[in-house]
């Protein structure tokens, strides 16, 4: 019989945790300024394979002063970095056949799509797992068990890590945030008892 | 801990902190992050060994052998090297609290072992770490504010279930929430712990559909959120429970476990008590004294007063005694008739800090009179085991092997001392009237009854006071630094208080053994004025603290603990406190001499 709805065991695919640092929240005007990626293979985070780079901004895309402060970056750092198209090709090469793991797809995915479009690269629509979805799943599971239970969980990455017993990491560094997301993913995967990739999406 | 990313964290952790940069960078390229929920078995004796060296970032791993905990590892600690070095799984490793760890693979570990300091870190301690005796149990750094409120240990709100829940419901919630206990709603709240599932459900053949009401403990022992950590220890030890709900303004804010307290201090009383309870046999006894000394030092450094510390030490010694007698029963068979193991002297008064000479005796029921050799053999073994644990044999000979008699014989001795207050009789009485039953089931009230008659025995009391007053503080005028004056804190300060407090306690018919409790009883009965009593209590505490600090200092440099303090060694402030103290004791002694007409 054709197994239309089969889904692989959760730890079979390779998950690439990815975090973008951007010049702001406006996809149309703000640039991607840094990318951090780290893979989860067989349920283990491989720090040695992490990928981490700054991105040279397109001419005319200015960085807002407030994001300079948040990311502690200076325009000078960025000018020596590879351009967006080269960086995205590195990203796509890694994502090939894997699952994209992000914290809050609502921000990272539009920036990635927009970046691809501007660079003339095709967006290959990888499968996406979002730790924000997993936080919500875990919370609704708890509500099911204890209906009078707690209020809406925090969706903020640092806050969610704290709630789940993970250590504080320095936020606003693309690679550290990607690692932080990957760790949170491992914890939440256990909390919701996901056995297959589908349970995570 | 600052917000370190994985690489920075490993870099700051020994022995990685001392690696040359090029070696560390190589290791960094192989670094992995793993997460295992509580309950995960990482490695099992005889099965696959670990293939990585792990650095714990968050969580707790327990290393066990034969069900006995050998080490509790937490943040910043490293494990896996025994597997890597021996190629065998020699220990069980279980995740006790959700584990986030960084790890490097075996071949990278081997590469790092080419760095001598890195290798030394693992090879020197290896034999010790594998040895399950107290002697070789690890010394873990002590970091604790003992005065901190227990509220600071509460990590999450308590998890509740409804009174109508089933056993299965509770088990699901506990698994989901990763907690080892749940509170049960009701007029009076109840508690169910994972141990209940084992002892009250599985062991009784019950199933998941069973109403929770059948196994709930209601009401339960809780503690106020403002209670200091060290008091929570006491509650935990006294009640022999593993979970303590914490209450603030009548609301339960969370539940703390013995593991929380254990983590709060690896050398704390709870940790040492668990070690004692799990001692596999007498070959593990050496090192007990050292373990207690470490604990005492830590507690004193943590700001606890010596009287409280002595209470912890007494609890540990009692647990050890029970363990030792348990082994003796296994070897000799159950006793033919009930008996009591009694502690005398400072152990009877629960005033030991560093271990001192053995002071003990056995009282057995008259029905056992024909099997006296059983109790002698029991005493012999126990005295030998205590010596192995670090309680020297008593030079004066107050040891159970020499003081092993029936209840009637003991009663006659007690009566004899009270009837005939000779100097020697009073001296012996002083030691035996501090007796406290530590183990055994024999009812000792016939002995207590003899002591209850003392308030009416004026001649005996006078004799006892007279003997007590032979220990006196030195004349204050002689206490000069320049003359190189020395003070024997025990004979010239502590003993005068202990001896006279015993007289006063017995005079008012108090059953207390402890010096402070005797003083309080005498004060309540009006034998001592409140001011005088407060001064003596303060003085006594001060002297105990000073002596303990000095003794620990001596022990730490490998010298035997001493009672003698040289005045040139103490600060000016201490000297003046010391003089106030001795003055208060002298003045109390003068009043006692007057009252009992002792010159």
Could you tell me the domains of chain A? 15-200 (3.30.420.10)
Q: How many other CB atoms sit within 10 Å of the CB of residue A13?
A: 19
Whether omega before B219 lies within 30 degrees of 0, making that bond cis, reads yes
- Chain B residue with the nearest C-alpha to that of A147: B161
Residue A195 CA, chain-centre distance (Å), reads 21
Q: What whole-number distance in Å separates Cα of residue B311 and Cα of residue B125?
A: 33
Choose from B1, B2, B4, B6 for mutation: most chain A CBs within 10 A: B6
In chain A, what residues touch B158 (CB-CB under 8 Å)?
Answer: none
Cross-chain Cβ contact A141/B176 below 8 Å: yes
B497, B515 contact by CB (below 8 A): yes
Q: Which residue has the tokens 């009006």?
A: B526
In chain B, what residues touch A47 (CB-CB under 8 Å)?
Answer: 6-7, 28, 31-33, 102
Nearest to A47 among B3, B31, B98 (CB): B31
Q: Which CATH superfamily is domain B6-132 in?
A: Jelly Rolls (2.60.120.10)
Q: Which residues of B touch A (CB under 8 A)?
A: 1, 3-7, 28-35, 37, 57-59, 98, 100, 102, 160, 172-173, 176-177
- Tell whether the torsion through CA atoms of B233, B235, B240 and B243 is positive or negative: negative
Cross-chain Cβ contact A47/B32 below 8 Å: yes
Task: Indicate if B320-443 has the same CATH topology as B6-132.
Answer: no
Find, among B115, B110, B64, the residue nearest to B84 by Cα: B110
Q: What whole-number distance in Å separates Cα of residue B539 and Cα of residue B542?
A: 5
Spell out the residues 6+ positions from residue B161 whose beta carbon is closer than 8 angstroms to its own. B169, B170, B173, B182, B183, B184, B185, B192, B212
* R_g of chain A computed on alpha carbons: 18
Three-state secondary structure readout of A113-167 = HHHHHHHCCCCCCCEEEEHHHHHHHHHHHHHHHCCCCCCCCCCCHHHHHHHCCCC
Nearest CA-CA distance, residue B270 and chain A, Å: 25
Q: Which residues of A touch B (CB under 8 A)?
A: 43-48, 141-142, 145-146, 165-170, 173, 176, 179, 182-183, 186-187, 190-191
Helices B288-301 + B530-556 axis angle, to 10: 120
User: In degrees rounded to 5, what are phi and psi of residue B598?
Assistant: -110, 130
Give the CA dihedral B117, B122, B127, B132, nearest 10 degrees. Answer: 140
Cross-chain Cβ contact B3/A168 below 8 Å: yes
Cross-chain Cβ contact A46/B32 below 8 Å: yes
Pick the CATH number of B464-595 from 1.20.120, 1.10.3470, 1.10.10, 1.10.760: 1.20.120
- Chain A residue with the nearest C-alpha to that of B162: A146
Q: Which residue has the tokens 């099997």?
A: B371
pLDDT 10s digit of each residue in chain B, 599 long? Answer: 346 789 888 988 878 988 888 889 999 999 999 999 988 999 998 899 999 999 999 888 888 877 666 677 778 888 888 788 778 888 889 998 899 999 999 999 988 988 877 877 776 543 333 333 333 333 333 334 556 778 878 878 889 999 899 988 898 888 888 888 999 998 889 999 988 888 888 878 888 888 999 899 988 888 998 888 878 877 877 777 889 999 988 888 899 887 777 666 555 677 677 778 778 888 888 888 888 887 787 777 666 778 878 888 888 899 899 999 999 999 999 999 999 999 999 999 999 888 788 899 999 999 999 999 999 999 999 999 999 998 888 776 689 998 999 999 999 999 999 998 888 888 889 889 999 999 999 999 999 999 999 999 999 999 999 999 999 988 765 555 555 678 899 999 999 999 999 999 999 999 999 999 999 999 999 999 888 888 899 889 889 888 888 888 777 777 788 888 887 777 767 777 788 888 889 989 999 999 888 86
- Chains A & B: contacts with CB separation below 8 Å: 64
Nearest to B35 among A141, A145, A186 (CB): A186
Cross-chain Cβ contact B32/A187 below 8 Å: no
Cross-chain Cβ contact A187/B3 below 8 Å: no
In chain B, what residues touch A48 (CB-CB under 8 Å)?
Answer: 28-32
Q: Complex ipTM, two decimals?
A: 0.86
Cross-chain Cβ contact A179/B6 below 8 Å: yes
In chain B, what residues touch A173 (CB-CB under 8 Å)?
Answer: 5
Choose from A14, A47, A101 for mutation: most chain B CBs within 10 A: A47
The 3-state DSSP class for residue B217 equals strand
Classify domain B320-443 by CATH architecture.
2-Layer Sandwich (3.30)
- Chain B residue with the nearest C-alpha to that of A43: B34
- Chain B residue with the nearest C-alpha to that of A51: B29
Cross-chain Cβ contact A44/B33 below 8 Å: yes
The 3-state DSSP class for residue B474 equals coil
Cross-chain Cβ contact A187/B35 below 8 Å: yes
Cross-chain Cβ contact A145/B176 below 8 Å: yes
Question: Residue ranges of the domains in chain B?
Answer: 6-132, 320-443, 464-595
């Amino acid at each position: 019989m054709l197994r239309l709805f089969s889904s692989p065991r959760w730890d079979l695919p390779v998950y690439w945790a990815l975090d973008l640092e951007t010049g702001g929240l406006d996809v149309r005007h703000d640039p991607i300024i840094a990318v951090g990626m780290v893979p989860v293979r067989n349920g283990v985070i491989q720090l040695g394979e992490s990928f981490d780079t700054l991105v040279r901004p397109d001419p005319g895309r200015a960085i807002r002063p407030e994001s300079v402060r948040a990311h502690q970056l200076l325009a000078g750092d960025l000018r020596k970095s590879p351009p967006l198209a080269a960086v995205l090709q590195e990203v796509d090469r890694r994502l090939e056949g894997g699952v994209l793991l992000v914290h809050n797809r609502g921000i990272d995915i539009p920036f990635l799509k927009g970046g691809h479009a501007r660079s003339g690269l095709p967006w290959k629509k990888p499968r996406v797992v979002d730790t924000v979805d997993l936080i919500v799943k875990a919370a609704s599971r708890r509500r099911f068990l204890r209906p009078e239970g707690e209020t809406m969980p925090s969706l903020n990455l640092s806050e969610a890590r704290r709630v789940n017993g993970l250590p504080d990491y320095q936020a606003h560094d693309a690679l550290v945030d990607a690692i932080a997301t990957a760790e949170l993913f491992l914890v939440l995967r256990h909390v919701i008892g996901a056995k297959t990739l589908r349970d995570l999406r | 801990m600052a917000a370190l990313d994985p690489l920075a964290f490993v870099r700051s952790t020994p022995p990685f902190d001392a690696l040359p940069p090029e070696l560390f960078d190589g290791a960094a390229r192989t670094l992995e992050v793993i997460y295992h929920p509580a309950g995960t078995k990482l490695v099992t004796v005889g099965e696959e060994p670990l293939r990585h060296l792990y650095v714990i970032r968050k969580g707790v791993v327990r290393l066990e052998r034969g069900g006995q905990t050998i080490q509790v590892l937490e943040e910043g600690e490293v494990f896996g090297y025994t597997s890597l070095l021996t190629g065998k799984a020699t220990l069980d490793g279980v995740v006790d609290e959700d584990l986030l760890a960084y790890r490097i693979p075996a071949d990278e570990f081997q590469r790092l072992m080419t760095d001598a300091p890195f290798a030394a870190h693992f090879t020197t301690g290896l034999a010790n770490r594998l040895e399950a005796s107290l002697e070789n149990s690890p010394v873990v750094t002590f970091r604790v504010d003992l005065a901190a409120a227990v509220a600071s240990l509460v990590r999450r709100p308590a998890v509740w279930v409804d009174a109508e829940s089933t056993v299965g419901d509770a088990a699901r919630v506990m698994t989901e929430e990763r907690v080892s206990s749940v509170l049960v709603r009701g007029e009076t709240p109840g508690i169910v712990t994972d141990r209940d599932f084992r002892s009250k459900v599985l062991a009784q053949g019950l199933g998941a559909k069973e109403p929770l009401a059948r196994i709930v403990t209601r009401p339960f022992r809780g503690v106020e959120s403002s209670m200091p950590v060290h008091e929570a220890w006491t509650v935990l030890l006294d009640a022999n429970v593993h979970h303590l709900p914490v209450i603030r303004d009548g609301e339960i804010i969370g539940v703390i476990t013995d593991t929380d307290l254990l983590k709060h201090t690896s050398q704390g009383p709870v940790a040492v008590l668990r070690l004692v309870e799990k001692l596999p046999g007498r070959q593990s006894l050496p090192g007990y004294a050292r373990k207690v000394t470490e604990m005492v030092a830590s507690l004193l450094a943590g700001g606890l007063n010596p009287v409280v510390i002595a209470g912890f030490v007494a609890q540990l010694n009692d647990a050890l005694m029970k363990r030792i007698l348990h082994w003796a029963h296994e070897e000799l068979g159950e006793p033919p008739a009930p008996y009591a193991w009694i502690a005398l002297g400072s152990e009877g008064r629960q005033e030991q800090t560093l271990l001192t000479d053995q002071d003990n005796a056995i009282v057995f029921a008259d029905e056992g009179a024909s099997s006296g050799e059983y109790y002698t053999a029991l005493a012999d073994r126990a005295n030998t085991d205590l010596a192995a644990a670090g309680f020297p044999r008593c030079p004066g000979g107050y040891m159970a092997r020499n003081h092993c008699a029936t209840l009637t014989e003991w009663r006659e001795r007690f009566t004899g001392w009270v009837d005939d207050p000779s100097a020697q009789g009073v001296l012996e009485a002083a030691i035996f009237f501090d007796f406290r039953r530590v183990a055994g089931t024999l009812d000792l009230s016939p002995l207590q009854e003899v002591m209850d008659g003392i308030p009416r025995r004026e001649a005996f009391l006078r004799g006892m006071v007279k003997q007590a007053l032979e220990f006196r503080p030195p004349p204050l005028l002689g206490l000069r630094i320049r003359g190189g004056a020395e003070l024997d804190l025990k004979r010239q300060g502590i003993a005068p208080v202990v001896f006279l407090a015993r007289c006063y306690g017995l005079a008012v018919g108090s059953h207390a053994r402890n010096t402070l409790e005797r003083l309080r009883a005498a004060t309540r009965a009006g034998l001592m004025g409140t001011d005088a009593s407060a001064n003596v209590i303060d003085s006594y505490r001060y002297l105990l603290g000073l002596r303990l600090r000095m003794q620990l200092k001596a022990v730490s440099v490998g010298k035997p603990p001493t009672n003698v303090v040289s005045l040139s060694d103490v600060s000016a402030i201490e000297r003046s406190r010391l003089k106030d103290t001795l003055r208060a004791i002298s003045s109390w002694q003068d009043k006692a001499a007057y009252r009992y007409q002792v010159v």
